[in-house]
Structure 1
Amino acid sequence: MTFTAATVSVVIGGTSGIGRAVADALSQRPGTVHRLSRSAGLDISDPAAVAAAFAALGPVDHVVITAGSQAPGGPLTGLDLTAAKAAFDVKFWGSVTVAQAAAGHLRPGGTLTLTSGFLARRATPGTFVKTAMNAALEATAKLLARELAPLRVNVVSPGLTDTEAYAALPAEARQAMLDRARATLPAGRAGTPADLAAAYLFAIDTAFVTGTVLDVDGGALIA
């Protein structure tokens, strides 16, 4: 895709982690990048707030959604369903809310890129909420690629990525997590935000890619 001074990109979740890396990469190109997030005042679980944000932006060219949520883990039999629904409200329904609001503002040739996660297609006990949310997002992206065509809709599926999302972990636990990634992943390490940003740019730049799930997981699905 050609970027010009008039190109407008929007990164939901663009103030931290993977989203910040995507926004930083887009900022190296001509045009304007808007970084929207909860910390910047936008709650994507609020449809009215999302609609107002896009109305204020006007026409846009590329929308990337990286905003996530804290998902409860553990076996289904003991799952806190209230917390599970709250996680869905942010990551799944929040992404759908953004897609709905953005669709009417995307210019011809525009793109919408969602974010899932490798657990969508790796059956791992104790991860029901993440698995269900991410699988739903991947199915949604494929459907929207048909409904919104010729706008292009894709989804990036990250594996373990070393971001500040793990900042609350004790240093020893975080290091142990990264060591396990080095020992078990075919890529020999965890991902970085820059690794993931490259995938979002590929989805934006490659005009023949739509309805696609881009796995950027260091080989987690084959490990």
Structure 2
Amino acid sequence: MKDATVVVIGGLSGIGRAVAERAAEEGARVIAVGRRTAPADWSKQIETATLDITDEAAVERFFSKLGALDHLVVTSGPVIASSRLTDLDVSAAKDAFDVKVFGQLRAAKQAARYIAKTGSITLTSGLLARKAVPGALVKATMNAAIESMGKTLAKELAPVRVNVVSPGMVETGMWGEMPEAERKAMAAKAGGGLPVGRVGQTGDLAQAYWLLMTNGFMTGAVVDVDGGGLL
């Protein structure tokens, strides 16, 4: 991985940032991509780029300008509230799909033109793909679609490896804005119901993405990093 080129879309915050920092620590050239500018404490070791993955022309331009790469990781996703079917805002659901499902699809499509044959694409789903929870219809169907996408692309794009990481409850900005004390209380309550006794941290997830980038015998896999949440 030393001097390999790694693109992390969603890499300016949360899980994506942890992935970008891990790859940079291991000697890779990392380009962290997001819709906003990098935070003030950003590492000078990691390159950044601004991109809206709902804009296919912009995604195409980004990869065309970048050229050859070795690994693509996509962690970006929308913040969307749970909703019962009868209260569902279908327009908001379409917008969410455009980011998480079609956004990852656009990124994979354009990266596939330039990625090394020994490289990899790692997508991101979530445990609700396989855990039925009332009110989580949109999240469940988005995540299930991504897991199906990953397995299909693992065959279509071979020998490029395509895998999916499925996070459980992870303490990130995806929880939305809330006071720190409230965030910690929510994390403690959620973690208390898991076999491991805590919610995940971004570093826990970064290890899984790193495994999928570096293990040349893994493709078509869905790796659950959920503290036993599916149990």
In structure 1, what is the Cα distance between the partners aligned to 2:141 and 2:21? 30
Q: Are 1:16 and 2:17 an aligned pair? A: no
Match of 1:84 in 2: 93
Shift of 1:169: 2.2
User: What are the Cα deviations for residues 95-140 of structure 1, in whole angstroms up to 9, with x where unaligned?
Assistant: 0000000001101201000000011100000011100000000000
Tell me how many residue pairs correspond in the alignment.
219
Identity rate, percent = 48
Superposed CA RMSD:
1.1
Equivalent residue in structure 1 for 2:36, among 18, 34, 39:
39
The more displaced of 142-151 and 162-171 is: 162-171
2:5 maps to amino acid: V
**TM-score, normalised by the number of residues in structure 1:** 0.95
Give me the whole-angstrom Cα distance separating, in 1, the residues matched to 2:174 and 2:80: 12
C-alpha distance after superposition, 1:144-190 (max 9, x if no partner):
00000010000000011111333512445423321222321001100
Partner of 1:30: 27
Whether the 8 Å contact between 2:79 and 2:176 is mirrored in structure 1 is no
* Partner residue in 2 for 1:105: 114
2:227 pairs with 212, 218, 222, which one? Answer: 218
| Partner residue, 1:4 | 2
In structure 2, list runs of 5 or more residues that go unmatched. Answer: 38-49
The code of the aligned residue for 1:39 comes to: R
Q: Secondary structure at the match of 1:221?
A: coil
Distance across 1 between alignment mates of 2:216 and 2:95: 35
TM-score, normalising length: structure 2: 0.92
SS at match of 2:230: helix
The more displaced of 171-180 and 87-96 is 171-180
Deviation of 1:47 (Å): 0.3
Identify which range, 72-81 or 20-29, moves more after superposition.
72-81
- Mark the runs of 5 or more structure 1 residues left unpaired by the alignment: none
